[in-house]
């Protein structure tokens, strides 16, 4: 998960360095939508991992 965050930040920095930052108002829109989609994807990934682990929990334990 940390590796994906670092690669995503690298992608954003390369985009800004190559000229994406010269367009003005589009930069904040790009950054906002990029990180919104990144955190939504991470949230769904965590949700799917937790839902897949539930069948493997012990029978006497309470579930989330």
Taking only the tens place, the pLDDT of each residue in 8-62 is 889 888 888 887 767 666 788 888 888 899 899 889 988 888 888 766 666 666 6
Q: Does 60 fall in a domain?
A: no
When comparing pLDDT for 3 and 40, which is higher? Answer: 40
Q: Does 7 fall in a domain?
A: no
pLDDT (0 to 100) of residue 58? 65
Q: Does 18 fall in a domain?
A: no
With b for 16 or more beta-carbon neighbours within 10 A and e for fewer, the 18-52 pattern comes to eeeeeeeeeeeebeeeeeeeeeeeeeeeeeeeeee
- pLDDT at 6 > cutoff 70: yes
Q: Which domain holds residue 34?
A: 24-52
Long-range contacts of 2-6 (CB under 8 A, 24+ apart): 4/42, 5/38
User: Is residue 38 within 8 Å of residue 8, measured between CB atoms?
Assistant: yes
Q: Does 38 fall in a domain?
A: yes
Domain count, the chain: 1
pLDDT (0 to 100) of residue 9? 86
When comparing pLDDT for 1 and 29, which is higher? Answer: 29
- d(CA 60, CA 33) in angstroms, rounded, equals 43
pLDDT (0 to 100) of residue 34? 86
Q: Does 29 fall in a domain?
A: yes
Q: Does 8 fall in a domain?
A: no
SS3 16: helix
């Amino acid at each position: 998960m940390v590796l994906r965050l670092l690669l995503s930040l690298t992608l954003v920095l390369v985009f800004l360095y190559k000229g994406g930052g010269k367009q003005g108002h589009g930069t904040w829109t790009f950054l906002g939508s990029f990180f919104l989609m990144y955190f939504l994807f991470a949230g769904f990934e965590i949700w799917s991992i937790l839902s897949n682990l539930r069948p493997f929990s012990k029978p006497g334990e309470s579930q989330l």
